Amino acid sequence: MNLTLNKIDAVNATVTIEVAKTDYQPAVEKSINDLRKKANVPGFRKGMVPSSMIRKMYGKSLLNEEINKLALNRLSEYILEEKLNVLGNALLDETQQPADIDVADNHTVVFSIGLAPEINFTIDKEDVIPYYEIKVPDEMIDRLIENHRANFGEYSTLETVNEKALVRGILTELDDKGNPKTDGVNIENAMLIPAFIKNDDEKNKIIDAKLNTEIVFNPFKAYEGNEAELSSFLKIKKGKVKDHTSDFSLQINNISNYKEAEVNQELFDRVFGKDKVKTVEEFRLKVAESISRQLALQSENKFLADVGAFLKKKAGKVTFPETFLKRFMLQNTKESPEKIEENLPEVIEDLNTRLIKEKIIRDYKIKVEENEIVEAATATISTQLAQYGMTSVSDDVFKEYLKKMLQNEQIINDLVDKLLETKYSGVLKENLTLDYKSVSLEEFQKLVRQEAATTKKKPSKRASKKAINAEEPKES
């Protein structure tokens, strides 16, 4: 198949591919013959429809399908051979006319392609970028310790109801005489916590009640007629709440209280592993480290955003194939032409950011090795297990988790993206000068808010993400 590239300008081109009859004819004839055997046409038995009729009915679509498939495959090979950095997928040129089945000759297919613009810049130590290191606030340490205490606490059985106790029992609706109401609400395993009861008089009827005793109170008064709370407690529809304003009896069968874990060696071991931490001071330091890692992600995101803005200025104005991109998005999204026109500047901004990042990755030969993926997956599993308090599992169990993770294509792609991002950031830090600034969390958040207020709303990346990928071209 003959192929001709016609560069209209630096970012727009057409590709003309001549598909010879000898290339498409055998496949088209086979398709017609296969369809003839399956087609149901009135007046003919299945498999006995004449080829001429199938050719007349379906020949044109079968021909164009085969020609386009062959042309697309050849174009895809050419893009790989010539290492063309295309934006999105090739589109059939707007002047392209369908091939005619009655024209027994070679056919040409013309595609429009959008080329990624050349971006030129270098980075060196003369380039200075701020890097904000966020100090860990004591209140965040205290709050995370309280979360650990809550997560690793336990329920204990009580003999007497207190305000925070979880009370379970048989709840029965009563009539005016204090007897079980016919067709009234009856719940075998009702649950309540006195602390959530709004009316103090009703709450006091439950506080200090003993296990295996019966108390009488009024739920409607207790929750002050709140439909949502009463509907949940009485297990009835909200609209029925007003029909159940009488007293109820509660036979208390169980009283339990959730007690937060003590800050001691048992908690240290459950959070960080056996004997990893020995004292309260070490525990606070470890907790601070975990918070610091989370805050470091915010610092890293800010750094990458600042670098991106800086490199865009260094690269200067970059021209994109706007007409091609609008046509591409019109065919690949559900957005209207007006919406595409409105979003185009933001889409181009996103494309520019991606191309700049790709240039750094290409220039510094950043890549991810297989062993690095395995190491990242191993670390991810360890973190996930630790979050559930599973700090020690057998090697066999761990290997099974790892095997399943490495079989999940989406997870692998996510790990590769994260590893690339880390290496990309590392290259930037090695080749730029970082101006470290120590700030409080409040100062950092204020800075981010101020910058966000002066920055346009980020676009939906649905279309732009498609457009940046150099993919195999598809029929349009």
pLDDT tens, residue order, the chain (476 aa): 899 999 999 999 999 999 998 888 888 888 888 888 887 777 787 777 788 888 888 888 888 889 999 999 999 999 999 999 999 899 999 888 888 776 667 889 999 999 999 999 999 999 999 999 999 999 999 999 999 998 898 889 999 999 999 999 999 999 999 999 999 999 999 999 999 999 999 999 999 999 999 999 999 999 999 999 999 999 999 999 999 999 999 999 999 998 899 999 999 998 888 889 999 999 999 999 999 999 999 999 999 999 999 999 999 999 999 999 999 999 988 899 999 999 999 999 999 999 999 999 999 999 999 999 999 999 998 888 877 767 667 888 888 989 999 999 999 999 999 999 999 999 999 999 999 999 999 999 999 998 888 765 444 444 444 444 433 333 33
Residue 272 located in a structural domain: no
Question: What distance in Å separates the CA atoms of residue 86 and residue 11, rounded to the nearest whole number?
Answer: 9
Judge if 303 and 447 occupy the same domain. Answer: yes
Judge if 137 and 211 occupy the same domain. Answer: no
Q: Helix H segments across 244-279?
A: 265-272
Judge if 325 and 439 occupy the same domain. Answer: yes
Judge if 332 and 424 occupy the same domain. Answer: yes
Name, in order, each residue with C-beta under 8 angstroms of 286's C-beta and a sequence gap of 6 or more: 271, 272, 276, 277
Supply the DSSP symbol for 160.
B
3-class SS of residue 119: coil
3-class SS of residue 203: helix
Q: How far is CA 303 from CA 63, 128, 130, 429, in A?
A: 54, 11, 7, 10
- CB atoms inside a 10 Å sphere around CB 214: 12
What are 474's two structure tokens? 């598809």
Residue 473 located in a structural domain: no
Q: What is the dihedral of CA 407, 413, 418, 422, to 10 degrees?
A: 100
Residue 380 located in a structural domain: yes
Residue 475 located in a structural domain: no
Judge if 303 and 182 occupy the same domain. Answer: no
Q: Based on the structure, what is the number of domains in the chain?
A: 3
Task: Indicate which CATH number applies to the domain containing 217.
Answer: 3.10.50
3-class SS of residue 422: helix
Q: What is the dihedral of CA 63, 65, 70, 71, to 10 degrees?
A: 100
Judge if 342 and 448 occupy the same domain. Answer: yes
Asked if residues 356 and 119 have their Cβ atoms less than 8 Å apart, the reply is: yes
Residue 268 located in a structural domain: no
Supply the DSSP symbol for 314.
H
What are 253's two structure tokens? 């069968």
Q: How far is CA 6 from CA 61, 194, 242, 319, in A?
A: 28, 79, 77, 19
Name, in order, each residue with C-beta under 8 angstroms of 266's C-beta and a sequence gap of 6 or more: none
Pairing mode of beta strands 12-19, 2-7: antiparallel
Judge if 252 and 338 occupy the same domain. Answer: no
Judge if 432 and 357 occupy the same domain. Answer: yes
Judge if 172 and 320 occupy the same domain. Answer: no
Judge if 306 and 347 occupy the same domain. Answer: yes
- What pTM value is reported for the model? 0.67
Task: Indicate which CATH number applies to the domain containing 55.
Answer: 3.30.70.1050
Judge if 389 and 426 occupy the same domain. Answer: yes
* Domain that residue 219 falls in: 154-259
Residue 53 located in a structural domain: yes
Q: How far is CA 10 from CA 82, 113, 117, in A?
A: 15, 11, 7
Judge if 134 and 75 occupy the same domain. Answer: no
Task: Indicate which CATH number applies to the domain containing 388.
Answer: 1.10.3120
Question: What distance in Å separates the CA atoms of residue 185 and residue 181, rounded to the nearest whole number?
Answer: 8
Residue 440 located in a structural domain: yes
Residue 267 located in a structural domain: no
